[in-house]
Amino acid sequence: MPELLKLTTKDFKTDQEVRWCPGCGDYAILAAVQGFMPSLGIKREDIVFVSGIGCSSRFPYYMNTYGMHSIHGRAPAIATGLAASRPDLSVWVVTGDGDALSIGGNHLIHALRRNVNLKILLFNNRIYGLTKGQYSPTSEQGKITKSTPYGSLDAPFNPVSLALGAEATFVARTIDSDRKHLTSVLQAAAEHEGTALIEIYQNCNIFNDGAFEHLKDNSVRDRHLIRLEHGQPITFGSEDEQYGIVRMPDATLKAVPLKEAGDSVLVHDAHASEPDLAFALSRLPDPATLSPTPIGVFRSVRRPTYDTLMAEQLDDAARRLGSGKLAELLTGSDTWTIS
Amino acid sequence: MTKQVEKVDRVIIRFAGDSGDGMQLTGDRFTSETAAFGNDLSTLPDFPAEIRAPAGTLPGVSAFQLHFADHDILTPGDAPDVLVAMNPAALKANLKDVPRGGTVIVNTDEFTPRALTKVGYAADPLEDGSLDAYKVHKVALTTQTVKVLEGFDISRKDAERAKNMYSLGLLSWLYHRPTEATVEFLQKKFAKKPEIAAANVAAFRAGWNYGETTEDFVVSYEIAPAPMPKGTYRNIHGNLALAYGLIAASHSSGLPMFLGAYPITPASDILHELSKHKNHGVRTFQAEDEIAGIGAALGASFGGALGVTTTSGPGIALKGETIGLAVSLELPLVICDIQRGGPSTGLPTKTEQSDLFLAMFGRNGEAPVPIVAPRSPADCFDAALEAARIAVTYRTPVFLLSDGYLANGSEPWRIPDVADLPVIAPNFAAGPNKVLEDGSEAFWPFLRDPETLARPWAVPGTPGLEHRIGGIEKQDGTGNISYDPANHDLMVRTRAAKVAGIDVADVEVDTGPDSQAGSGAPKVLVLGWGSTYGPIQAACRRVRREGNQVAHAHLRHLNPFPANLGRILKEYDRVLVPEMNLGQLSMLVRAQYLVDAVGYNQVRGLPFKAAELAGVITDLIGSAEDRHSDGHSDGHSDGHSGATDTVEGVGV
C-alpha cells in the first residue's frame, strides 16, 4: 500500500436515511460492514457495492462507495462484467435468499464456478420481506405464509451445499447479530482471491421473526452452533454436554458425545482440495430445525480468478500480436484496389 | 477446341445441395474470386437451422445465391440465371425460381431412383422432359471427382466430398474467375492435412479443365469489372462489418470494449469474431444466459467500458428488464439485435424485420431507446459506429437493428481511412459538478448537460465522485431515491426528451438521376429501413427505367426519426412502406405524422424481390396519377386508411 489510508467507519456512511424496519437484522450487518471496511486499506473510490432487489439490496445506498442497486437476481451478472473489466476494483454483491437463490439462481452458480473476484453477501432470512411475507427458496417445507396458507411444498435450498456444488472456492456462513464472527468472516472473504459466498443468517422481525433464535440466544445456542475453525477439532455443545463430529461408516457425519468420540473427532480442513468434508458439514443441520448448524469458513481454496485469466489473455495477445492496429484489422488480407 | 466467349453485364448463380455438401463454402469462394476480379456483387446464403438435416431431403437443402455484375448492383437478385443442383432435393426446391431458358447444372450421380423417390419425383426429371424449358448440363460430378482423385491417399468419402470444389472449378471456368486465391485458400484451410488440400486443389482444377474441354459447355461468359469509386476494397459480411464497427468505436472513443453475449443464430458470428481481437483490448464474455450477457455488459459500462451485447429477437425478449435498467441508470450500452423470423424460435436462419416494435416499446414503463439500422452488409460498420456514438454521447442504451440477411450477406466494402472515422468523446466526469448552499462541492450523478440532457458518467476509481445509482426512480439532479409524483413526471419526460433530442442526420431522398425531366416530380415516396434498402433501390431503378418517377427515403434512425422526415412525408401524394413485417414502421409514421402510409409486407424469411416491388410501386404511381386526375390529393379519399392497410395482391 503506497500510503496509509486513514478511513473510519464514518467515511463509509452516506447521508441517506436508512429505511429498513426497526429491529431488522440488516442494521447489524450494515454496521459490521461499515466498521470493517476501513481495515481493508482500500480507497473508497475503488470499492463498488452491487445489489439486486429485496430488502437487503438497498444496502448500496448506505455505503459511501460506488454502488448500483440493480434488478431482481441479476447483481452477480452485472458485478461479473464490472469485475472482469475492472480487476483493480473491490466488488461486493449484496443479495438475499429470494434474489440470489430464486430469480437469480443461475447467475449465482455461474459466478461461483467462474471464480470472478466478487464477494457475495447473501442475507438469508428464509422469507420474502419486501413483497410482504411469501415463503422463499430457503423456507422450511410446510411453511405457512401468505402465499402458502396450506403450507409450502418445496424442499428448501441449503445455500452452502449449493455453493459447494457450484465449484465455489470460498464458502462461509455467519450470523447478523454476532458482530465479531461476522467481521472475521468478512475479513477472510476479503482476503480470498476469487468469488466468496457468505451466507448471513439475518432476522426478519416482521415476517419471520426468530428464525435463527436458537443460534443466537446465549442460553441455548451452544447446543446448536458449531464454530468451524480451520485446523481445529469440530466440536460444540454446552460446558456439561460436549459433542464432537465424527464420520460414520456410511461416510455421513454425526454429532456424538465427546467422551465417546475420543480421537475420531474430525479436524476441520477448509483448504482441502476436494469439498467433500465441507459438503458433509453443510448437510449436518436438520433442514427443519437448523441444528446443529456449522458457522465459519467451510471452504477456502485457491484457483485462478476469472478476471485475472481474462486480463492475461488480453496481455498475451498484445504481446504476441502487438497492440491492435485498427487500419490493419479493417484491411485484412484479401483486398483489391480501384485507382 | 475454341470456345465461344460471350460478354454479359450481370449473372445470378445459385449453388444448392445438401447441408453437408459444402454449398456455403463453395458460394463463399466463388464470391471471393468475384470480388477479387472487381465485379460488384451481393450474396444471399439460405440454409436450414439444422446442422445436418436428413440427407437428400427438401428441408436439408442449403443454398447460396450470388449476384455479380459490371455495374453497381443492390440485391442478390430475384431469380437465378444459373442453378447448380447437387441432388434431386436441391433441384426440386430451387427450380421454381429459375426462369424458363435458365441454365441448370445437375450432379447426375445423385439422381438415383431412391433419391428421386425421397423428394417425391415420380419420374426422373432429367429424362422425362420436364426440364425441356431449361439449358440443362448433366455432369457426373461425384464420379468424375472420385476418378480424378484416384491417385490420392484419401478415403472415398473424402474424395466424394471434394465434388463441391470440382463444381466450383467448373463455374470458375464458365465465368472466367481468377483461381489463385482459391488454391491458396484450400492449402491454408487444410494445412494440417496436405493430402486433403492437394486433393481439393486437384478437384478444383479438374472442374476448370472439364469446362475447358467438354463439348457440353460451348460458351463461357465474361463480366467486366464494375466501375467503382477509387479506393481499396474487400468483400465483407454484415456480421463482420458490425464487429469491426464496434472495434472501431472502441478505438475512436478510447473505451475498452466488453461484449456480454449468449450464443444465438444469426448473431453468434459477432461473438466469434470479437473473441479473436483481444489485442484490441476487446473482452468477450460468453454468459450463462441472455440476461447475464446484457447484465455483464451493463456492469462493464458502469466501470467505464463500451458495453455491448449481441443477440437476436428471443434474446431481446429476455433482456428487456435490463434494457429498462440501462434506460433508468442512463449508461451507454450498444444492443445488437440481428433479427430473424419470429415469434418464439420462429425461423432462426431466415431474415425478418419484425423486432422494430420490440426495440421501440418492449419494456415496462416509459423507456425510450434510440434505434439505428444498417441498410446493407457493409453499412453495418457505419451503423455500429453511429450506435456507439449515440450511446456514449447521450449515456443511453441504443438498439442496432440488423437482420439475418445483412448478417450473412456480403458485398464489396471500400475500406475507410481510419483518420476519417468519427471521434466519440466519453467525457468522463472528473470532479464535483455542484456547489451546495453551504458552499461545499458535491457530485450530482443526475445533473444533466443542458444541451444533450446527458448525465455525467463518473466511473469507479475516480476519487470524490462516489455515488449510488439504481433502477428506483431518482431525484432530478442528486440521483437519490425519490417517490415524489412531480419528480417522477419530470424524470419520465426528461428521459423521453433526451432521446427525442438526439442529434441525428436528416434523411436524404433519392429521386433518381434525372428526376426533374420528363413526367415531373415523383408523387410516390418509398420509405424503408434496414435491409430492404437494396431491393427498394433496385425496384425504384426499374420503375424509372420504365419512364416513371419515384422517390426513395431510407431511414438510418428509427428513434428518434430524422427532423426532416415529417416534412418529406407530406411532400408526396402516396407513401409506400415495404417491410419484412406486418407494418411496424408504417404504423409508427402513421401515428407520428398522420400520414396515410401504405404498407407492403412480406414475412417469408427472404428479402424482397426487386421485380415484385417494382410492380407494387408502379401500381401505386398509377393510383396516385388517377387520384390527381380525379382532383383528390388529401391522401384519405381512396379507402387506403387504417393502420393495417396494405397493398393487395401480394404474391406470397
Express each pLDDT in A12-70 by its tens digit. 999 999 999 999 999 999 999 999 999 999 999 999 999 999 999 999 999 999 999 99
- CA–CA distances in Å: residue B142 to residues A44, B57, B87, B117, B586: 71, 18, 11, 20, 50
Residues counted in chain A: 339
Spatial contact of B380 and B406, defined as CB atoms under 8 Å apart: yes
Interchain contact, A338 vs B418, CB within 8 Å: no
Chain B, window 316-375: residues with a beta carbon less than 8 angstroms from a chain A beta carbon = 321-322, 324-325, 329
- Chain A residues touching B463 at Cβ < 8 A: 43-45
The rounded distance, in Å, linking the Cα atoms of B329 and B349 is 34
Tell whether the model's pLDDT for residue B390 goes beyond 70: yes
Q: What is the mean pLDDT of residues A212-229?
A: 96
Tell whether the model's pLDDT for residue B516 goes beyond 80: no
**Grid cell digits, residue B2:** 475454341
3-class SS of residue B63: strand
Express the helix, strand and coil content of chain A in percent, nearest 5 each. Answer: 35, 20, 40
End-to-end CA distance of chain B: 47
**Grid cell digits, residue A191:** 482476503
Spatial contact of B170 and B145, defined as CB atoms under 8 Å apart: no
pLDDT at B601: 98
pLDDT at B428: 98
3-class SS of residue B191: coil
- Chain A residues touching B233 at Cβ < 8 A: 335-338
Q: pLDDT confidence of B274, banded at 50, 70, 90?
A: very high
User: Quick one: which of B631, B185, B72, B559 has its CA closest to A338?
Assistant: B72
Tell whether the model's pLDDT for residue B635 goes beyond 50: no
Q: pLDDT confidence of B633, banded at 50, 70, 90?
A: very low
The rounded distance, in Å, linking the Cα atoms of A10 and A31 is 10
End-to-end CA distance of chain A: 59
Q: pLDDT confidence of B513, banded at 50, 70, 90?
A: confident
Name which of A58, A72, A90, A336 to mutate to probe chain B: the one with the most chain B Cβ atoms within 10 A of its Cβ. Answer: A336
Spatial contact of A74 and A82, defined as CB atoms under 8 Å apart: no
Share of chain A above pLDDT 90, in %: 94
Largest CA distance in chain A: 97
Q: pLDDT confidence of B629, banded at 50, 70, 90?
A: low
* Cis previous bond, B343, omega within 30: yes
Tell whether the model's pLDDT for residue B68 goes beyond 80: yes
Instruction: Give the strand pairing for B468-470 and B40-46.
Output: unpaired
For residue A93, give the H/E element and its range.
strand A90-96
Name which of B318, B468, B472 to mutate to probe chain A: the one with the most chain A Cβ atoms within 10 A of its Cβ. Answer: B468
The rounded distance, in Å, linking the Cα atoms of B326 and B302 is 10
Average pLDDT of the residues of chain B: 93
**Grid cell digits, residue B367:** 423507456
Q: What is the mean pLDDT of residues B229-239?
A: 95
Among the four given CATH numbers 1.10.490.10, 3.40.50.970, 3.40.50.300, 3.40.50.720, the one describing domain B234-420: 3.40.50.970
The Cα of B37 is separated from the nearest Cα of chain A by a number of Å equal to 8
The rounded distance, in Å, linking the Cα atoms of A203 and A198 is 16
User: Quick one: which of A125, A123, A130 has its CA closest to A92?
Assistant: A123
Which residue is listed with cell 486443389? B201
Interchain contact, A334 vs B297, CB within 8 Å: no
Q: pLDDT confidence of B651, banded at 50, 70, 90?
A: very low
Instruction: Please spell the DSSP secondary structure of A234-264, one letter per residue.
Output: -EEEETTEEEEEEE-TTS-EEEEEHHHHGGG
**Grid cell digits, residue B60:** 436439408
Q: Which residues contact A38 (CB under 8 A, 6 or more apart)?
A: A5, A7, A8, A9, A11, A12
pLDDT at B3: 81
pLDDT tens across A147-172, in order?
999 999 999 999 999 999 999 999 99
Spatial contact of B458 and B465, defined as CB atoms under 8 Å apart: yes
- CA–CA distances in Å: residue A27 to residues A58, A67, A216, A217, B43: 11, 18, 16, 18, 63
Average pLDDT of the residues of chain A: 96
Phi, psi of B7 (to 5 degrees): -95, 130
User: Quick one: which of A175, A181, A173 has its CA closest to A213?
Assistant: A175
Domain ranges of chain B: 4-222, 234-420, 427-503, 509-649
User: Quick one: which of B547, B549, B601, B555 has its CA closest to B573?
Assistant: B549
Tell whether the model's pLDDT for residue B470 goes beyond 80: yes
Which residue is listed with cell 412480406? B602
Tell whether the model's pLDDT for residue B640 goes beyond 70: no
Higher-scoring residue by pLDDT: B74, B628: B74
- Chain B residues touching A110 at Cβ < 8 A: 287-288, 292
Q: What is the mean pLDDT of residues B207-218?
A: 94
Q: What is the mean pLDDT of residues B494-519?
A: 87
The rounded distance, in Å, linking the Cα atoms of B540 and B526 is 8
Share of chain A above pLDDT 70, in %: 99
Which residue is listed with cell 461416510? A251
pLDDT at B419: 97
- CB-based contact, B388 to chain A, within 8 Å: no
The rounded distance, in Å, linking the Cα atoms of A249 and A272 is 21
Q: Which segments of B153-265 are extended strands (E)?
A: 219-222, 231-237, 257-261
Model pTM? 0.93
The rounded distance, in Å, linking the Cα atoms of A201 and A182 is 10
As its CATH architecture, domain B4-222 has 3-Layer(aba) Sandwich (3.40)
Tell whether the model's pLDDT for residue B397 goes beyond 70: yes
From B231, B251, B295, residue closest to A74, measured CB to CB: B295
**Grid cell digits, residue A237:** 455443545
Q: What is the mean pLDDT of residues B151-157?
A: 94
The Cα of A311 is separated from the nearest Cα of chain B by a number of Å equal to 8
Phi, psi of B246 (to 5 degrees): -65, -40
The Cα of A127 is separated from the nearest Cα of chain B by a number of Å equal to 22
pLDDT tens across B559-599, in order?
999 999 999 999 999 999 999 999 999 999 999 999 999 99
Instruction: Give the strand pairing for B231-237 and B219-222.
Output: unpaired
pLDDT at A17: 93
For residue B336, give the H/E element and its range.
strand B333-339
The rounded distance, in Å, linking the Cα atoms of A307 and A87 is 6
- Count of beta carbons in the 10 Å neighbourhood of residue A23: 12
Tell whether the model's pLDDT for residue B360 goes beyond 50: yes
pLDDT at B514: 65
For residue B226, what is the DSSP state? Answer: P
Q: What is the mean pLDDT of residues B366-374?
A: 98
From A83, A313, A327, residue closest to B278, measured CB to CB: A313
As its CATH architecture, domain B509-649 has 3-Layer(aba) Sandwich (3.40)
Q: pLDDT confidence of B1, banded at 50, 70, 90?
A: low
From A65, A77, A85, residue closest to B305, measured CB to CB: A85
**Same fold? B4-222, B509-649:** no
